[in-house]
Amino acid sequence: MSWNNQEMCDEVIALFKDGATVNLGIGMPTEIAERIPASKQIWIHAENGVLGVEGRPTKKTVSPTLINAGKETVSIKKGASFFDSSLSFGMIRGGHVDYCVLGGMEVDCEGSLANWMVPGKKLTGMGGAMDLVNGAKAVFVMMNHFSKDGAVKLVPKCTLPLTGLKVVNLVVTEMGIFKPVGSKFEIVKLAPEVKEADLKFNH
């Protein structure tokens, strides 16, 4: 039994220290914001210029000028602050953000990440990902274990253009939590009933 998306979010949340500052990438990691218990006192940073994202607004409180990096409407908690993009990335590049959680296309054994383009096929741009992977104190990648064509996304060496070289601390997939240690992925934790052979690692 692999984890569903909510369970994956909860696994990531369990890795956060209380009171930490966290940046959440577009896509799968965004959902984490809605599942963090208030008791953890996490400060969510969105690189478009807000520290203190809470969850979602109501029809009454929704504001077109209050969004996250995925351009989705959000709500903020007490003590939240707004700032410009330079200060926002200063928080990231300056090493003030404790964790960032990003989506991924490939992560390799050395901790390199690819998530911004597939040559000749898909070009999204790196957005803030290259700054985040080089600036946050810890970098977590949250992604599906396998691509749509069934290939395992945790690879010996990335083949796609890199977002960052040797930057990833942990990878969380529906199969478990894995740590790139140079020549292989170390298993930190497996989802219930998942066996090592199910991981299909080819290193």
Partner 1 sequence: MNKVFKNARSALFDLKSDITLMSGGFGLCGIAENCIDALTEMEINNLTIISNNIGNSGRGLVKILKQNKIKKAYCSYVGGNPDLEERINKKEVVVELVPQGTFAERIRAAGMGIRAFYTPTGFGTLVAEGKEIKDFDRPCIMETALHADFAIIKAEIGDTFGNLYFKETARNFSPLMAMAAKITIVEVEKLVQVGELSSDQIHLPGIFVQRIFQGQNYKNDIEFLKLSGEV
Return the residue matching tokens 């965004």.
30
| C-alpha–C-alpha distance, residues 137 and 177, integer Å | 18
8 Å CB contact between 4 and 76: no
Q: CB 166 → partner 1: shortest distance, Å?
A: 8
Length of the chain equals 203
Q: Which is nearer to partner 1, 104 or 127 (CB)?
A: 127
Q: CB 174 → partner 1: shortest distance, Å?
A: 17
Residue 181 tokens read as 């240690």
**Would you give the end-to-end CA distance of the chain in angstroms?**
24
* # binding residues, partner 1 (CB under 8 A): 51
180 binds partner 1 (CB under 8 A): no
Q: DSSP class of residue 185? A: E
Establish whether 174 is a catalytic residue. Answer: no
Which range of residues in 40-48, 101-109, 140-148, 178-186 is near partner 1 by CB under 8 A?
40-48
**Is the four-CA dihedral 192, 197, 200, 203 of positive or negative sign?**
positive
Q: Which is nearer to partner 1, 46 or 171 (CB)?
A: 46
162 binds partner 1 (CB under 8 A): yes
37 binds partner 1 (CB under 8 A): no
Which range of residues in 37-45, 126-134, 136-144, 185-193 is near partner 1 by CB under 8 A?
126-134
3-state secondary structure of 33: helix
For residue 146, the Cα-to-chain-centroid distance in whole angstroms is: 17
70 binds partner 1 (CB under 8 A): yes
| C-alpha–C-alpha distance, residues 141 and 106, integer Å | 10
Strand partners, 23: 45, 100
Q: Which of 7, 31, 34, 47 is catalytic?
A: 47
Q: CB 198 → partner 1: shortest distance, Å?
A: 27
73 binds partner 1 (CB under 8 A): yes
Active-site annotation, residues: 47
| Footprint of partner 1 (CB under 8 A) | 31, 46-50, 55-59, 62-67, 69-75, 82-86, 88-89, 92-93, 112, 123-131, 134-135, 161-166
